[in-house]
Structure 1
Amino acid sequence: MFINICTILGLLTNVEGLPEVACNRLKIGESWYDRQPLWANIGRPYNLNVHRSSNSLFFSYSLPETYSDTDFQLAFFNIDSKDSQTIAGIRGGCSVAIDQLNDEIYLGGSDGIYKYNMLTKLADFYKEKGKNVWSLFYKKNLFYISYPDQKLHIEYDGKFATVKEFEGFEIDHFHVSSMNTIYFANKTGLYRYDNDKMLAKPVNELVTVRQIVEDNEGDIYVVTNFGVFADGKFEGLKKILDMKNIYGLAFDRDNNFIYSDEKNIVKLVYSLVGCDKKSLHW
């Protein structure tokens, strides 16, 4: 069977008349990504954090009121093997921090801080018995934010103390970048803290921050109610994803985006093909 060149050109010309196929890709900045669902039909996953040596995603999610008197639950999902597990024994489990260098996984709930053992798959109590832990963060030291006073604490010499420089602030999210830039957020917006001048400088006072996260290359991303912003080293805060229903963001061992919306956790893999007609490859 033979098809002449005129027929082929005719087929290509009529492509625009074909019905459009739903595109399952997402554009972040100038790049396109294929969506690969990891976990579906789960209640609003927050606080995404990847343990890189095992490539396991740790996160919290909300429970229906009918389940129990606990409103949050912690879980993990291994991105390679697809194994998953809810983490028992942490009441109101809602926060995650990982010391990647020493392979320590810290989890927080309404009754203190726990350490998770990847071999036994159990969480053992660590410190701050009876303290309601809103958020955890690790950078050389372990930090936590207490609830409902929203105060920042740091572990030093085996004990926790409030961080003096932030005693005058309520803090919902806290992050120290690999370049030692300090970010924090509360109900009034997103801030950078100038450690030399001991002064908080507003970055954006219109957004509600849901997570501040750093990728494997040291770039900062801020998840907000208006979408995802990247804080470039020279350009400042710039929106890269206009998606209002995103609640968490993390990066796997290979620096792939992983995000969550109201009910799903999705991995993004870079694609050479986009969803607009100009990106079609023949």
Structure 2
Amino acid sequence: MAPQINDSILAFYLTKRTLSYRAIMATKFNTRNQYYQTHVMKYEPIITTYGLSANMKRRPVHVSGLHVRDMNLFLILYSVIAVVVAKHTSDHKCDGFLVHGKCHKAEVLTNGLNRPYQLSYSNSTDRLYFSYNVGFQNTSTFEIGYIDIGKHQKIPTPVNVTNGFATAIDHKNDIIYFGGSEGIFMDNLTDSKDIHPVHLKFDVWDLFYRHHLYFIRYPTMRLYKISKGPRLQKHIHEKIYQFVIDKDEDIFITNKTGLFMIKNGTNERILFKGAQIFRAIEINHEGNAYFCGQNEIYVANKHHHILEKIADKKDIFGLTFDSENNIIFSDPDQIVRLTPEDK
């Protein structure tokens, strides 16, 4: 890629009395010859078209009396290389998804679903769990299913949980948790036998695991922690939609007014500027929180209390990460994995 020409280089041109354009640009490389072989010869056909020579003779430039011809040559070269760089950029347009400014390929893992949601990926089994609507027309009846990605399974295998809606995984112990209208259930990922109950009689809205299992009860929308039975988390006194804890033990919650952070060891709610509606919050394998708005994916800038957009995706529903920290997301009818193009 051609070097960028900025104002500092132009100032350098004006203040150094004996440097030509080529010599100026050579300062960005180890030797002038390296620059010439790498870049000047590359653009020689274009430069020749404009009536210039790639082997320009060095001319003295005086600050007190700048030669007009030297300046014209410099400005022409500036314009030519800017056009070439712009064309080079457009020739490498991303046909997939831009994530953190890098192009990613999209791999459809399964499709033909109705609102797949609440994604959880098992590192040990390469299995993806999620809830999805199996109701007809305008009705909503959710169940939980899974696909074995390594086996290229496209049609989900259902999990026997009534009105299954929520999922969470304890990766250390290889345990998957399911939440539905009749309570919370669990299964061993590597030695699956029969799903057995963890706690019954609570209708579960959301699940999250970090050191302990947390859940949001429906319809009260209050947070509980499973520790010798369910315990209401009184320090989270408001009704919430999502709850996660990141690597710094900072808490993120969402409610009807937006996203809040509660720093470790405090009770203060810090409102994050930006989106107010979220469909999912997930923690990647490095412990960083990712947030799904309706049409974007964000990460948190915890110093400035703002969300930074890393990707655009219309009608995103759910989010998780595979064993290599690649994003897996869902939209209204499919689940897609994003992998960097340079892999």
TM-score by shorter chain over 0.5: yes
Give the letter aligned to residue 187 of structure 1. K
Is 1:36 the counterpart of 2:104 in the alignment? no
Is 1:194 the counterpart of 2:259 in the alignment? no
Structure 1, 219-228 or 190-199: larger mean CA deviation: 190-199
Q: Deviations over 1:151-177 (max 9, x none)?
A: 100011x211100101x2001100001
Please list, as runs of the form range in 1=range in 2, the aligned pairs for 1:259-278 lying within 5 A after superposition: 259-272=329-342
Cα gap change, 1:66 to 1:261, in 2 (>3 Å): closer
Work out which of the two has the higher radius of gyration on C-alpha atoms and give 1 or 2.
2
Per the alignment, residue 86 of structure 1 pairs with 157
Is 1:165 the counterpart of 2:235 in the alignment? yes
Cα gap change, 1:47 to 1:118, in 2 (>3 Å): same
Q: Deviations over 1:59-78 (max 9, x none)?
A: 111123269x8710111122
The counterpart of 2:244, out of the listed 145, 154, 175, is 175
Give the letter aligned to residue 124 of structure 2. S
Per the alignment, residue 74 of structure 2 pairs with none
Is 1:231 the counterpart of 2:300 in the alignment? yes
The counterpart of 1:51, out of the listed 122, 143, 153, is 122
Per the alignment, residue 146 of structure 1 pairs with 217
Check the 8 A contact 1:153/1:162 in 2, yes or no: yes
User: Over aligned residues, Cα RMSD in angstroms?
Assistant: 2.8
Q: CA deviation at 1:196?
A: 3.2
Q: Deviations over 1:2-47 (max 9, x none)?
A: xxxxxxx9xxx9xx9xxx9x97511112111011110011011111
Secondary structure (helix, strand or coil) at the match of 2:259 reads strand
Structure scoring higher RCO (CA < 8 A, sep ≥ 6) equals 1
In 2, Cα distance between equivalents of 1:223 and 1:123: 33
Q: CA deviation at 1:272?
A: 3.7
Check the 8 A contact 1:114/1:123 in 2, yes or no: no
Per the alignment, residue 49 of structure 2 pairs with none
In 1, Cα distance between equivalents of 2:116 and 2:134: 10
Q: CA deviation at 1:195?
A: 4.4
TM-score by length of 2: 0.68
Q: Deviations over 1:75-101 (max 9, x none)?
A: 112221223643332111010111000
Per the alignment, residue 322 of structure 2 pairs with 252
In 1, Cα distance between equivalents of 2:168 and 2:259: 20
Per the alignment, residue 26 of structure 2 pairs with none
Cα gap change, 1:61 to 1:234, in 2 (>3 Å): same
More strand by share: 1
In 1, Cα distance between equivalents of 2:342 and 2:264: 42
Q: CA deviation at 1:209?
A: 1.0
TM-score by length of 1: 0.82
Is 1:131 the counterpart of 2:202 in the alignment? yes
Secondary structure (helix, strand or coil) at the match of 2:328 reads strand
Q: CA deviation at 1:233?
A: 5.6
In 1, Cα distance between equivalents of 2:287 and 2:190: 29
Per the alignment, residue 106 of structure 1 pairs with 177
Per the alignment, residue 4 of structure 2 pairs with none
Secondary structure (helix, strand or coil) at the match of 2:235 reads helix
Structure 1, 31-40 or 207-216: larger mean CA deviation: 207-216
In 2, Cα distance between equivalents of 1:163 and 1:75: 30
Count of residues paired in the alignment:
255
Q: CA deviation at 1:183?
A: 0.4
Check the 8 A contact 1:87/1:122 in 2, yes or no: no
Give the letter aligned to residue 146 of structure 1. R
Per the alignment, residue 218 of structure 1 pairs with 287
State, as a whole percentage, how many aligned pairs show the same letter: 28
Secondary structure (helix, strand or coil) at the match of 2:225 reads strand
Secondary structure (helix, strand or coil) at the match of 1:143 reads strand
Check the 8 A contact 1:113/1:126 in 2, yes or no: yes
Q: CA deviation at 1:187?
A: 1.8
Per the alignment, residue 4 of structure 1 pairs with none
Q: CA deviation at 1:250?
A: 1.0
Cα gap change, 1:217 to 1:127, in 2 (>3 Å): closer
Cα gap change, 1:123 to 1:32, in 2 (>3 Å): farther
In 2, Cα distance between equivalents of 1:129 and 1:226: 35
